[in-house]
Amino acid sequence: MNTFKKKALYSALAGLGVIGMVGSAQAVNLNPDGLGQVLIYPYYTVRANADGNAFNSLISVVNTTDKAKAVKVRFLEGKASQEVLDFNLYLSPEDVWVAAVTPTAEGAKITTPDTSCTAPMIPAGGEEFRLWQYQGDLEDQTLDRTREGYVEIIEMADIVNPSPTFTAVKHATYDGVWRPGNCAAVQDDGSTPAWVNTDLTTGTGKLFGSMTLVNVNEAQDVAFEATALDAFNNSGHLWAASGSIFPNLSEVDPAVAVVVNGKNVYITDWTPNPVDAVSAVLMNQTVYNEYVLHTETASKTDWVVTFPTKSYYYDLDQITGIRYVDRLFQRNFIKGGACDDLSIARFDREERRPTQSGDFSPRPPTGTNSLCWEANVVTFGASGTASLLNAQNRVTLPMPYDSGWAKFTFTPPTAPATFHTLTANTANTKLDLSGSTPVVTNPTSVVFSGLPMIGFAAQEFNNGTVQVGGNNVWSKYTGRIAHRFSKLITP
């Protein structure tokens, strides 16, 4: 059921008259096939280990359609999801755009060998990440904060064909070089050029992307795909000038979410707070994955757990420097972050579990097991264990076993539920497919418990020097395992 294709799902809903109940066939959803209008990459890093060997983060986005597209590319630091760089990218039909995030003396920068148009244009030497958006809060104010975070790409529009803008961004041969026609034509000065209103139309999605975290000197390579949100916008283009923080995830339109949970499909309207529709789609109560800590292979395991909508529930008080939470998340953002409590269960590969719950180290400011950042890394191992990803936005989790699996659960308070829940109170529809005949109901309210989260686990194995054909070869390799999630949705 969780692999329901979008067309099949909407055909089933339309056949039952469900679509008419919510007023639109367009509703944001998590596309299990990885194609969408919005791509969220859960982690980037240029952190270095104690020897100074740093990661580079290599990003790609692919336009699978025969349409040219305008998209917003946004990099966000990992503590409070504050923007450190964004720009507009114009993709030719069937285009692939690539770039690299690399370390600088103080922070990070982006470089690209790609010819696809960006606004502003990215200089040959790269563009450095910026610290201005997080000035004033209680955390680190330096450029070092830009060294790890996550990325979002939001489709703003399809470009009408034929049009002058389509010709400008379309790749062709010019003076013997395959490149766009005229990138100068899509530059802007912060205002809205006339071509925006004539040459842009509603985006049709079908973007996908990936990222590879590469540390060449440490023989590390961790690759993962972007999380894709489909049917994000169906109401015209979302173009915003370069230098603008828009569009963002709060501009989902209509603010309706379709969420599949087992044999139930929930359609919920979040019009008063549109970003809740995105949060509902990404909402999970429990995250599961494996860990390996074998001594003989010097194995390491890091989990990445990112909350892509967390910043939308906070407002910065310019006087106190505190980011005050509005709802869903548990605590204000102060020195040490904004912490959300969780319970931990740990198992070995033979179903054994310790008698006591594990404790994160260092202890979060709450004194309980909590994840306090927007993009979190959990390093499995004793206190002081080095992070596979060299992360600083992290905690460590001591393990009594050398391999097994674990689960983190975010549970709302027993009564009343004031955090770790989202409640839809209008225009709700539930489709129950557990029986031979689908049953459609309209619950007065639908409660989503947990937090909106994405991420993955990274594992490393180091066999040291081995003999291959009479030569010494360093046998070290890394891999990525996708998280598994479970939901708690209560009508």
User: What pLDDT, in 10s, does the model give residues 127-156?
Assistant: 999 999 999 999 999 999 999 999 999 999
pLDDT at position 362: 78
User: What pLDDT, in 10s, does the model give residues 32-72?
Assistant: 999 999 999 999 999 999 999 999 999 999 999 999 999 99
Where a domain ends, among 229, 253, 277? Answer: 253
Residue 293 covered by a domain: yes
Tell whether 227 and 304 lie within a shared domain.
Answer: no
To the nearest whole number, what is the mean pLDDT of the chain?
Answer: 93
Tell whether 188 and 319 lie within a shared domain.
Answer: no
Tell whether 161 and 301 lie within a shared domain.
Answer: no
| Interval 317-342 mean pLDDT | 97
Domain count, the chain: 2
| Interval 357-375 mean pLDDT | 85
CA distances from 165 to 65, 199, 226 (A): 17, 6, 28
Tell whether 222 and 323 lie within a shared domain.
Answer: no
User: What pLDDT, in 10s, does the model give residues 247-259?
Assistant: 999 999 999 999 9
Residue 104 covered by a domain: yes
Tell whether 392 and 485 lie within a shared domain.
Answer: yes
Residue 358 covered by a domain: yes
pLDDT at position 417: 82
Residue 15 covered by a domain: no
List the beta bridge partners of residue 201: 158
- Can you give the residue range of the structural domain that contains 480? 285-410+450-491
Residue 273 covered by a domain: no
Tell whether 237 and 317 lie within a shared domain.
Answer: no
List the beta bridge partners of residue 286: 409, 486
List the beta bridge partners of residue 245: none
Tell whether 42 and 105 lie within a shared domain.
Answer: yes
Residue 327 covered by a domain: yes
Tell whether 159 and 291 lie within a shared domain.
Answer: no
Residue 173 covered by a domain: yes
Structure tokens at 172: 């062709």
Where a domain ends, among 253, 274, 299? Answer: 253
| Interval 334-359 mean pLDDT | 90
Tell whether 190 and 76 lie within a shared domain.
Answer: yes
Q: Where are the beta strands (DSSP E) in 419-490?
A: 421-424, 429-432, 439-441, 446-449, 451-452, 454-468, 471-482, 484-486, 488-490
Give the predicted TM-score (pTM) of the model: 0.95
Where a domain ends, among 253, 276, 310? Answer: 253
Tell whether 244 and 119 lie within a shared domain.
Answer: yes
Residue 471 covered by a domain: yes
Tell whether 243 and 163 lie within a shared domain.
Answer: yes
Tell whether 352 and 217 lie within a shared domain.
Answer: no
Q: Which residues lie closer than 8 Å to 174 by C-beta, 6 or more apart?
A: 181
User: What pLDDT, in 10s, does the model give residues 397-441?
Assistant: 999 999 999 999 999 998 788 899 999 998 899 999 999 889 999
Rounded (10°) CA dihedral 200, 308, 144, 121: -10
